A = this chain, B = another copy of it.
Amino acid sequence: MIGRREMKFCVDTDKRNSWYIGTDNFDTMMINKIESVMFQGNGYLGIRGVSEERQLGERRDMFVAGTFDAFPGEVTELPNLPDLVNMEIKIDKESLSLNDGSIEDYHKYLNLKNGELTRTFDWIINDKRINFRFSRFVSMRDKHLFVSKVEISSDQNNLNIQIRSGIDGQQSNSETQHMIEGNKRLYDGQYIQLMSETQQSHIKFAFNVKNDAYIDGILLNMKPYINMGRRQIFCNYDLNLNTDQKFTLIKYANVYTSIDRNNANSDLSTLSLERLKYNSLSNYDELLQKSTKSWLKNVWQKDYVKIDSDDIKPQVAINFARYQLVASTPDDNRMNIGAKGLTGEGYKGHTFWDTEIFMLPYYIYANPAVAQKLLAYRYLGLTGAHKKAQKNNYQGAQFPWEAAWPEDGETAPLYGSADIITGEAMKIWSGFIEQHITSDIVISVMEYLNATNDQEFAKNMGYEIILDAAKFWVSRLEYDEDRDRYEITNVIGPDEYKEHVNNNAFTNYTAKWCIQKAIKIFNTLKENYPDIYVHLNEKMNLKETYNEWIDKVNKIYLPRPNVDGVIPQDDQYLSKRIIDLSRYQTNNQVSDIFKSYNLTQIDGMQITKQADVLLLLNLFGDRFDEKIKRINWNYYEPKTTHDSSLSLSTHAMMASDLRLNKEAYEFYEKACEIDLGTHIGKASQGLHLAACGGIWNATVKGFGGLKVVNNKLSLDPNLPANWQQLQYQIHWHNSLVKVSIDHSKMIVGVTDGDLEFISHGQTYRVIDGKTVELDYVVEKS
């Protein structure tokens, strides 16, 4: 039975509305998980779903995209900024704390459609019942703006309310402080401002807050009492409330930085203050409405995925995934999406291959303009990639495993946690030898170019990235004289449990493929775009490197399937010991295996962290036949712990392609549960944004059957049995393509241009404004 089990979410959902996630329980064990899952952001500013009042064990993170700074002795990271969320509330001198007194009617819900977070509860303390309603949003219209509101009423007369609401710069990245405290000011008796600057990168920040206090909707003519502390400035209110009254505080807050695109040369203090003055002319609802409209216009009108199923959870998961991707994606080509976006301190805000392989497909098909910016970031990153290559005595562009500011190059930390046996900190080899990132970027550029046919991007940036990547790869090759072949030794492939391997299949295949792409592009440019050719030839000595490509490309060693059809993950893998991994696979706790073995021991066994050979087969599906895929699935899947959040969605897609429908749906469910699931994991560190991309991939590319075969759009869906219908829309060559699949038919419609696509090997054409209807057939793969 497929879909017989239901996804287990840490949040509740509204059965009729897939756009709300929330919880009706206050569970101290789940604080960090809820903070991550209920993240609010607009790609510029990101705030975790912390409570307004402080809680033990919380992670009160707020980030602005791209504002990297390095603490002495550490790699660069996104600084955790002064807290704008905090409100300290005292009721009759008793501090609001959910650990004291009792709580009834608790609800904390995030509206995924517009990012509004609300929290309501009754706090019963000393025989008083006080009703609280908190609501807040990060504006999608004005990306600097954060607005929040608290409403308080009670069953008491003469209830004393004290509220402290302001800017609390006593924040840090797990106690690492990036900010130098600047001026603190009060303007016009009601606007408070804190200026700050990062200690190494010298990025300046202005934070402003204004509070408006109301009783029963009447604005109080009441200047707050101001107090300051170290890195802190607060407005304080102290008033009494009767049982028939409602107190409301609206907090307007904003952040500006010296690296903002539009105000680099402005007086940050004045500009940000003026903007807040303007913003605070509108009330909460008006500002929320504007933000909601921007969400609709910029996101939901472009991006449509609808699942009809008795189970609402897949629809919640895909809504959640898209909301989170958008909330963490900067609109600035000097920046990219962090592995955790702006949702937590994990991975320091750095960008990995997660973007290209797992998140970019969503943008390429749903919002190609964003995809273009994310790839342009890699173009800007060529400077950093050249640095890295030179440092390692290679040529061309060796992209960093971890990227922050594009020209910085490699920002991976050098050391990680301890080896359990020796007690010594372990070198993190990824920044040195996990080199497939350079191929991953080329894969993504090609997927973007295939889907968009964006010639401008190709000519201005895309081709250069690919040529430069190939230049790196050819310099990276090592000649084995005995066998007259080129090898790539001492790398880490996608499977990070295997360090210092030789001829990792994924790495070698994709390196060769990069060079092949570059050869084609070289010839295209030379023939069709001689000016670009001349320009790039001068810039990167293209002709010479081309000759090298031609000399070497056919001698690059590819680990071919062995007699049993198994593609060796690397030279050593197949000769290692095999153990039964099932107990590590079923347990939801990631990295359980490290409680039994250390990395050296794991290295000695056929244990794979995540799709490696299978990822190759998935990404280059049109280059391997079904038999090889099935053999390798059968071989590698039981050896995979799925300790990487990148693994499950790939397996879901792969299983669906192999028509292993039960497994496909099980992997799909697990993929949807990576962040939304009930296990706590590393939620305090933030969401797994690649897994969010994975949900979209598994839904649209997996079950929805969206593929690119020989550069052509291909649609071979495989609708789960418990879904009645799947509808989605994608962009293809400037056209908008709408696909609707149920168990009897597939309807494909197109606007803004004609469409050619393949289904089950047959080519279809749809004219602008028309649709074509096909019988729904699931062929055995």
Contacts and interface: CB of A to CB of B under 8 A. Distances in A.
A170 B177 CA distance: 11
A183 B425 contact: yes
Interface residues of A, number: 48
Interface in A163-192: 169-172, 174-177, 180-187, 189, 192
A483 interface: no
A174 B28 CA distance: 24
Interface stretch (A71-79, A120-128, A523-531): A71-79
A230 interface: yes
A229 B682 CA distance: 12
Interface string A50-71: 0000111100000000000001
A74 B179 CA distance: 11
Nearest to A189: B423
B420 A226 contact: yes
Contacts of A230: 174, 176
A182 to B, nearest CB: 8
Contacts of A97: 28, 56
B99 A174 contact: no
Contact of A170 (B73, B174, B192, B595): B174
A174 B231 contact: yes
B57 A231 contact: no
Nearest to A191: B423
A417 B234 CA distance: 11
A227 B418 contact: yes
Contacts of A180: 71-74
B54 A54 contact: no
Nearest to A423: B186
A424 interface: yes
B177 A176 contact: yes
A367 interface: no
Contacts of A228: 417-418, 425
A56 B54 CA distance: 8
A81 to B, nearest CB: 12
A199 interface: yes
A225 interface: yes
Q: How many copies does the complex hold?
A: 2
A189 B231 CA distance: 42
A189 B419 CA distance: 11
Interface in A277-312: none
A750 interface: no
Interface in A4-57: 28, 54-57
A56 B199 contact: no
A233 interface: yes
B184 A177 contact: no
A425 B71 contact: no
Contacts of A420: 225-226
A225 to B, nearest CB: 7
Contacts of A182: 73
A100 interface: yes
Contacts of A71: 177, 180, 199
A57 B418 CA distance: 31
A182 B423 CA distance: 14
Nearest to A180: B73
Contacts of A422: 186
Contact of A54 (B57, B176, B189): B57
A226 to B, nearest CB: 6
A112 to B, nearest CB: 30
Contacts of A55: 56
B174 A423 contact: no
Nearest to A183: B425
Contacts of A417: 227-229
A152 to B, nearest CB: 21
A210 to B, nearest CB: 13
Contact of A177 (B57, B177, B233): B177
Nearest to A422: B186
Contact of A172 (B73, B99, B172, B425): B172
A175 B174 contact: no
B184 A175 contact: no
Given A171-B175, A229-B417, A187 B423 contact: yes
Contacts of A418: 184-186, 226-228, 233
Interface string A218-242: 0000000111111101000000000
A243 to B, nearest CB: 27
B231 A175 contact: yes
24 contacts: A28-B97, A54-B56, A55-B56, A72-B180, A73-B181, A74-B180, A99-B99, A99-B100, A170-B175, A172-B172, A172-B175, A174-B229, A176-B230, A176-B231, A183-B425, A185-B424, A186-B422, A225-B595, A226-B420, A228-B417, A228-B418, A228-B425, A229-B417, A233-B418
Given A72-B180, A225-B420, 6 more contacts: A28-B97, A73-B181, A169-B175, A184-B418, A185-B425, A189-B423
Give the top 3 A-B pairs by smallest Cβ distance, nearest first: A186-B423, A99-B99, A73-B180
